Chains A and B, each alone.
Chain A
Amino acid sequence: MDLKLYLNLYALLQRDVSTKEQQRAFGLEHAVLKHKPIAQLAAWEKRYIDLLKRPLLSERVTSYLYIMTFLLGTLSFILGLFSGIALLSYNGHEPVNVVYFMAMVIFFPLFTMLLALFAMFKSRSNSNILMHLTPAYWMEKIAARFAHKEESFKKHFNMDPILAKWIVLRRAQCMALLFSVGLLLALLGTVVTRDLAFAWSTTLKITPDGFYAFLNMLAFPWREFIPSAIPSLELIEHSQYFRLGERLSNEMITHVEQLGEWWKFLAMATLFYALFLRTILYLIVTIGYKRALKKSIFSLEGTSLLLNNMNKPFITTGALEGEGVVFSVSKDVQMLRELESVYDFIQGWALSSSFLEVLNEVMKVKAQHQVVEVGGSNTLSQDSEIARKSFGKVLLYVKAWEPPTLDILDYIELLLEYAGRVVIYPVGTENEGYQAKEKYIQIWVDKISMIDTSKIWIKVP
């Protein structure tokens, strides 16, 4: 898991490169990774990475971060080296005040590490003042502005600010580490190449005894192993320096060969406070960065859906293919509003004789020759016989609520061969008072209009 994975996933999820079905197929193909979401996402990224345009966003961002880290790291190292040389500069008249160097290798690192720790705990906020106190944050801001990179990346991509903070925090520890290496090298180099006389001086009322106890406390990590790296009370007494008088005390001059012994303490202090503790913090920040990276990956829009699609059964219920659209062209059909009182034949499609009798009574119509049921339980030959015997005007009742099937259309076409005129009358149910609903009549009108003849009429209300 690295930053590249995060950036590539971001780019791939933006592009919607695979369907749900493909995602599930991928999940099944990599079933062993089911409970390792990061590994699963990494495998998925590897599968689709080639679909992204080159140069990849991840390549551009990581190369920018690498160059930036390299430049800022080198700068920090040089700064550390020169700061160390400046702090240890010895003109032969005044000794080197160890308090300055201690401040740089003990107190300043402890303070910045404390800031970093607070920033780690408060790292969720966007406007984190602690982050703004970090020199690395501003160095990077300035460098990014000079390189015109920040705005250019923002156009394409907005990195999760929490992750961005951890990147800055991590880089800040790296820079501080290199700065301290510079300081240590400056100390060792100066010690080797020059004859230094260290002293301690302060305006505060601190007795040598008190200072000895304080240094002993600071040296607790190494006092058991390297006792020579703790200044003795005698050395502390001999190396106290007062500016007033503008001359070195006789005691100092008498013990001048001891004054250089301080370097061991300073070197150990640099090693422990500036380097060892910083390295520990760097490792902690690296762990925090990895966690932030993991959370950022899961917080990317689409990640949880992708994992969901890969690990849960892909269920579909819909049709496999689309449905053809049916168009029907209806022509004009002759409509009749009033029935005549007498028809040659009155027939009812799937309507019983008793029902037909009631209908005729209600509609006040009579048949001159025959009232008969067609369709329904009749055989085809029975219907054919009835049609063949029909002539003149035929009134054909149909159930309006039943849609016209091809069976009835076949019969109407046969009937039209023999009858002079056929009136189709869609009737409603008994409960409806035999009055058909408008929408059902319309269906019949549409269907009957498909029969191309002037001999057919439809009764409408």
Chain B
Amino acid sequence: MKKHPRFAVVGHPNKGKSSIVSALAMDDSVQISDMPGTTQKQRSFPLKVDGKVLYELIDTPGFQRPRQVLEWLQKEKVSAEKREERIRLFINKYENDERFNDEIELLKPIVEGAGIIYIVDASKPYGQEYETEMEILRYTGQPSMALINHIEEADYALEWKRVLGQYFKMVRTFNPMSVNLENHISILESMAQLKEEWIRPVKEAIELFESYHKQMLEKSCEVISHLIYDALSYKERLSLKNEEVQESEKEEIEQKYQASLRQLERRSQKKIEEIWNHKNLEKTQNILAFEEIDLFSKEAASVFGLTRQELVVTGATSAAIAGAGIDLLFMGHTLLLGGAIGGLVGGVGAYFSFDKLSEIKLLGQKVGKHYLQMGPMQNRNFPYILLGRALYHLFIIMHRSHALRSAVELDEGQAFKVEWLNDALKKDLERYHQLFRKEIVVEGEKLTEYARVVQSAIGNIDNKVLNILN
């Protein structure tokens, strides 16, 4: 018998067992279907830390012929202590009988010591036929709890609770479609209560699970940090056919430049989805737009970026701080001109760079090789737009339940920017954006620092936004 806690998720067909397992195991590879009998074999989802299993969830097929099983079990009157043996006998007798394939698959882990998590759908009325299933589970003598799932809007939870309370030690409500870290942990805590010996390992698992969540968030912010740096410092080159630059060549390099930036964004999104175990995600998303909704139009800026006015203030403030450093160096003998000039230059620069992507430069003339270069990104609004989109994507992905099979709609949410971008953060970000734009190599430490700023931005977004977005 395995030593770690095991939990068999059982129930009537189509009551969301696989959805619950998918959400709790953060695995979107589980087949979820309206057709009963999609799950035909028990499937194990262990929480493993460095190869050591802390607990195991087992997805099982639904009951198909519970009345026949119960009838067989009750055919002979046995004392409570012999019931487990009777179930083993049933399993041994019908192991190769296709009629009881589903029951055998679901009973096997239970007789091997797994705790029972019985799933019901409280959006459907209670029916007497469930009692046979609950009787069989009670017959096994294993610790058990019931989870009330709500697949649809209707609510029959009260009548369910009245019945479930008679059969199970604990009854909890859990919606796998909108699971968050808090209710995930709450369910794990309930599972730990099923057996005294399981409290310690499951508690340990909860702690690790929290650190796992933190790890995923940190990794995602690192990915975003690299995306912003790579996009801002990216340079596109195009060799020229003739000495004179053709208009078509200018267009070509601009298109290539934009395509490369989009590619960077897509790659980073993919990495974040992998970090959060969303490997089978289908997305409907607006691509990073440069023309369709003009990236630098007021409309686009108001969604994720800054408005021209905000940008001017941010540019002026950060340059004024640099200028003030000079004033400080000269003990104020500059009559604070450093700060004033810095602010003016920063503000004017930000104003004029508002609708410019990057300059197209003709390079290589000295060495006889003519080529055009576009980048690094000069537009000061671009990093905010890109970062806003990346945060939005991360926010959606980290809050998305693995039980969902619908396509993710990544449409731009108006409320989003307001929630994460405050003045203090703008100043912090602008400092790094200036650094990334310079043609210098940025050390890994700086990118890690930027990732921390990104993480604080994620912290600014609360569940209110999630509700608005949903």
Contacts and interface: CB of A to CB of B under 8 A. Distances in A.
A and B: interacting chains: yes
Contacts of B14: 403
Interface in A407-454: 407, 410, 429-431, 439, 443, 446-447
Nearest to A330: B35
Contacts of B192: none
A249 interface: no
A234 interface: no
B277 interface: yes
Contact of B441 (A124, A127, A319): A124
Contacts, number: 157
A160 B65 CA distance: 67
B48 A406 contact: no
A322 B29 contact: yes
Interface string B427-464: 00000000000111101110010000000000000000
Interface stretch (B211-219, B301-309, B311-319, B358-366): B211-219
Interface string B16-41: 00000000011101110011111111
A324 B41 contact: yes
Given A299-B441, A326-B37, A404-B36, A320 B50 contact: no
Contacts of B63: 405
Contacts of B211: 313, 315
Contacts of B40: 324, 326
Interface string B120-158: 000011011101100000000000000000000010000
Contacts of A316: 46-48
B48 A407 contact: no
A162 B441 contact: yes
Given A317-B277, A320-B44, A402 B30 contact: no
A406 B64 contact: yes
A402 B35 contact: no
Contact of B66 (A24, A124, A407): A407
A318 interface: yes
A323 B40 CA distance: 9
A376 B127 contact: yes
B129 A376 contact: yes
Interface residues of A, number: 57
A432 to B, nearest CB: 8
B45 interface: yes
Contact of A315 (B127, B131, B208, B444): B208
A317 B26 contact: yes
Nearest to A439: B34
A125 B441 CA distance: 8
A407 B71 CA distance: 13
Contacts of A126: 439-441
B448 A405 contact: no
Given A403-B13, A405-B64, A350 B38 contact: no
A125 B440 contact: yes
Contacts of B41: 323-324
B105 interface: no
Contact of A405 (B38, B62, B212, B441): B62
Given A124-B441, A125-B440, A314-B50, A407 B64 contact: yes
Contacts of B37: 326
A446 B13 CA distance: 15
B246 interface: no
Contacts of B27: 317-319
A312 interface: yes
Interface-centre pick from B40, B208, B444 (highest chain A CB count, 10 A): B444
A28 interface: yes
A76 to B, nearest CB: 27
Contacts of B38: 326
A380 interface: yes
Contacts of B47: 315-317
A407 B65 contact: yes
Contacts of A430: 125
Interface in A360-386: 375-377, 379-380
B445 A402 contact: no
Contacts of A328: 35
Contacts of A298: 443-445
A166 to B, nearest CB: 12
Contacts of B439: 126-127
Contacts of A380: 67-68, 71
Nearest to A164: B441
A401 interface: yes
A321 B47 CA distance: 14
Contacts of B65: 405-407, 410
A377 B29 contact: no
Interface in B34-93: 34-41, 43-51, 62-68, 71
A392 interface: no
A303 interface: yes
A296 to B, nearest CB: 9
B440 A429 contact: no
Nearest to B13: A403
Nearest to A399: B127
B195 interface: no
B35 A446 contact: yes
B172 interface: no
A32 interface: no
Interface residues of B, number: 61
B298 interface: no
Contact of B35 (A24, A377, A407, A443): A443
B254 interface: no
Contacts of A399: 127
A317 B65 CA distance: 31
Given A317-B47, A447-B36, A304 B222 contact: yes
Contacts of A404: 36
B370 to A, nearest CB: 17
Interface string A307-349: 0100011111111111111101000000000000000000000
B425 to A, nearest CB: 23
Given A126-B440, A299-B443, A314-B50, A407 B68 contact: yes
B99 interface: yes
Nearest to B132: A377
B12 interface: yes
A297 to B, nearest CB: 9
A318 B29 contact: yes
Contacts of B29: 318-319, 322-323
B187 to A, nearest CB: 14
Nearest to B48: A316
B45 A317 contact: yes
A325 B31 contact: yes
Given A323-B29, A405-B36, A376 B64 contact: no
B212 A299 contact: no
Contact of B25 (A317, A323, A401): A317
Interface in A289-309: 295, 298-301, 303-305, 308
B98 to A, nearest CB: 10
Given A377-B131, A380-B67, A380-B68, 8 more contacts: A124-B441, A298-B443, A314-B49, A314-B51, A323-B41, A377-B128, A405-B13, A410-B65
Interface of A: 24-25, 28, 124-127, 160-162, 295, 298-301, 303-305, 308, 312-326, 328, 350, 375-377, 379-380, 399, 401-407, 410, 429-431, 439, 443, 446-447
Interface of B: 12-14, 25-27, 29-31, 34-41, 43-51, 62-68, 71, 99, 102, 124-125, 127-129, 131-132, 154, 208-209, 211-212, 215, 219, 222, 226, 277, 438-441, 443-445, 448
28 contacts: A24-B50, A25-B51, A124-B440, A125-B438, A126-B440, A126-B441, A162-B443, A299-B443, A299-B444, A304-B448, A314-B49, A315-B47, A315-B212, A315-B215, A317-B277, A318-B25, A318-B29, A319-B45, A326-B37, A326-B40, A376-B129, A380-B67, A401-B124, A405-B64, A407-B64, A407-B65, A407-B68, A447-B36
Q: Which 3 A-B pairs have the closest CB atoms?
A: A403-B36, A318-B27, A406-B64
